[in-house]
Amino acid sequence: MYPRGRRNLEQVHIFLSGTQMKKHSAFPTASIVAGVLCLTLITVTSLPGAYCQTGEVENSKMLPKCGERVPLDPDHYFVYGFDEAPKLGTVIMKVEIFARNGSHDTTFVVKGDVDMPSMRRAHSTGDKKFSVSKKGIYLLPVPIAMPGGWEFKFTFEKNGKAVFQAAYRFEV
């Protein structure tokens, strides 16, 4: 004789396997469809800029979404995004500036300042200069101190003058 609890567990188990088998025979294509859907999702989210989330936009000085081309001046555009989903600790913000012909441009000075809009200046780093990698990619480590809404402000300078400023808001 099984103790009552164990028998109940076995009954539950049999019930579950029965349901699964029934589902399988009744909808033989269900799992295939689910699999294809999964693959589609993976394909979509593994495009460049996979870690991009849509930002909150309050005004025209805000960037709606990372991973997309942003016009910088008549001859240049840039693409930006974190190297991974923003999380507590340090994440790297990447910026690539392209000339019209598609080549990297590294003649700008790019600065970034991160802060929490709900706690102004509590975690602000102030303007920090991006470094430029050998591949011509601008990189800046960004410290994320707590979960919540964050804002990253970009400043692009040419010949010592700010030529473009915009902010990107994201959630951690």
Binding site for Cu ion (CB under 5 A): 116, 119, 146
Which residue, 106 or 125, has its beta carbon nearer to Cu ion? 125
Which residue, 32 or 146, has its beta carbon nearer to Cu ion? 146
CB of 113 to Cu ion, least distance (A): 15
Structure-block tokens of residue 57: 């936009």
Q: What is the DSSP letter of 65?
A: B
Q: What is the SS3 assignment for 44? A: helix
CB of 116 to Cu ion, least distance (A): 4
Q: Measured between alpha carbons, how far is 125 from 155 in angstroms, rounded to an integer?
A: 14
Q: Report CA-CA distances (Å) from 109 to 3, 24, 78, 134, 135.
A: 73, 59, 13, 15, 16
Q: What is the dihedral of CA 117, 118, 122, 128, to 10 degrees?
A: -10
Which residue, 18 or 148, has its beta carbon nearer to Cu ion? 148
CB of 147 to Cu ion, least distance (A): 9
CB of 125 to Cu ion, least distance (A): 13
CB of 154 to Cu ion, least distance (A): 20
Which residue, 70 or 144, has its beta carbon nearer to Cu ion? 144
Which residue, 116 or 140, has its beta carbon nearer to Cu ion? 116
Q: Measured between alpha carbons, how far is 165 from 127 in angstroms, rounded to an integer?
A: 12
Closest CA to 92 of 44, 120, 133: 133
